[in-house]
Amino acid sequence: MDARQAAHAVNDYVIAYRRDIHRHPELSMKEFRTTDRICEELDKMGVSYRRMEPTGVLAEVKGGKGPGKTVLLRGDIDALPVQEETGLDFASETPGCMHACGHDTHNAMLMGAVKCFHEHKDEFAGTVKFIFQPSEETGEGARAMIAGGCLEGVDYMFGTHISSQVELGHIEACPGPMHASAFWFKIKITGMSSHGADPYHGRDAAVAGSAVVMALQDMVAREYSPMDPMVVTVGDIHAPGRFNIIPGEYRMEGTIRTFSREINATLEDTLNRIAKGVAGAYRCEAEVELIEVAEVNINNEEAYEIGRKAAEKIVPGCVDLAHPQMGGEDFAYYTPYVKANFFTLGARLPDAEGKIYPMHHGKVLFDERAFEIGVALYIQSALDALEA
């Protein structure tokens, strides 16, 4: 099978299917219509699949040339709680929900790859599996699919994420860590409210909480080596009260990103020590909750090399060595169990005013010309891995 020709042949189908999915976005673990549509398309093709619970699909195509290796291709399917502002003819019809991270395109490109492998099944040996994975945004989907047995018998795995920031026609990847781990923390500071005119009668949770926010920034500079990149962000702060009331409660939520599984193992103890110690200095108490959203996404060197060579066949001279990214990706949960590689696919598209918007923005756009490249990349990576 010629990957580029096969992808070109299904390109109109991929675009039409993606636009339908884009019109009807669904949040993580609620992708019921999306899963129905995936199953509908697979039924039309006659491709065997297993519907996962509560959402998601695992499909497979067996090559007609006999048994061989097994390669798994993954695309995620969930949307975000973002109001779409693109003005596209196929914009989201669901208020407050949008495919602002491009998972609709991953779904569509993977479906295009399914169609190509099914139509050319007599041309290869081995098995290609396809994961239409739910809930990447919350970090639940990959773990659910693994628990459902998606990795059984798999030799290699490949995934792709489209990018509104990377130039159209370019593909990026790197060996080793590619995406940081992502942790979500919640800290509640409890003091005692009092009249704003007499703060000494209370225990000011806002002052204590503000001190905790500042102390958390010192984790990067004073707790860990500068050779280990880290980001600590407090993104949500809330202290209920009134202009003349000393708040008795202060809540914050934030995220921590690192490339070190060793550091990750220490984060809960470090957060507790800082939050409780600083709060205690202000006669307040602190409660800490740390939630793992995604582990460090590490590309296997062998799978990376297969993927890099495959990408060069698709877009010669446009395959770039990626810089590790602080953004999280739950593809990371597959990587300890299988030789895997993850790509970034360029699809930069300025709007009518020449502006380029990032993922998770209500005006983000993706160039549909990238889809043919993405489908071909899925196909070529799988074909080369089957023959590795």
Q: How far is CA 64 from the centre of its chain?
A: 34
Catalytic residue, chosen from 41, 78, 104, 249, is 78
Active site residue 249: no
Q: SS in 3 state form for 161-190?
A: EEECCCCCCCEEECCEEEECEEEEEEEEEE
- Give the relative orientation of helices 267-281 and 205-218 as an angle to the nearest 10 degrees: 140
Distance CA 269, CA 272 (A): 5
Catalytic residue, chosen from 31, 136, 372, 384, is 136
Longest dimension (CA), the chain: 83
Active site residue 136: yes
* CA terminus-to-terminus distance, the chain: 16
Does the bond joining 67 to the residue before it have cis omega, within 30 degrees of 0? no
Backbone dihedral region of 135: left (phi > 0), alpha (psi from -120 to 50 degrees) or beta?
A: left
Q: Could you give the 3-state DSSP secondary structure of residue 156?
A: strand
Name the nearest CA neighbour of 138 among 37, 228, 55, 49. Answer: 55
Q: How far is CA 333 from the centre of its chain?
A: 11
Residues near 7 by Cβ (< 8 Å), separated by ≥ 6? Answer: 112, 116, 372, 373, 375, 376, 379
DSSP H helix total and E strand total for the chain: 10, 16
Backbone dihedral region of 149: left (phi > 0), alpha (psi from -120 to 50 degrees) or beta?
A: left
Q: Could you give the 3-state DSSP secondary structure of residue 51?
A: strand
Name the nearest CA neighbour of 286 among 360, 205, 340, 357. Answer: 205
Catalytic amino acids?
78, 136
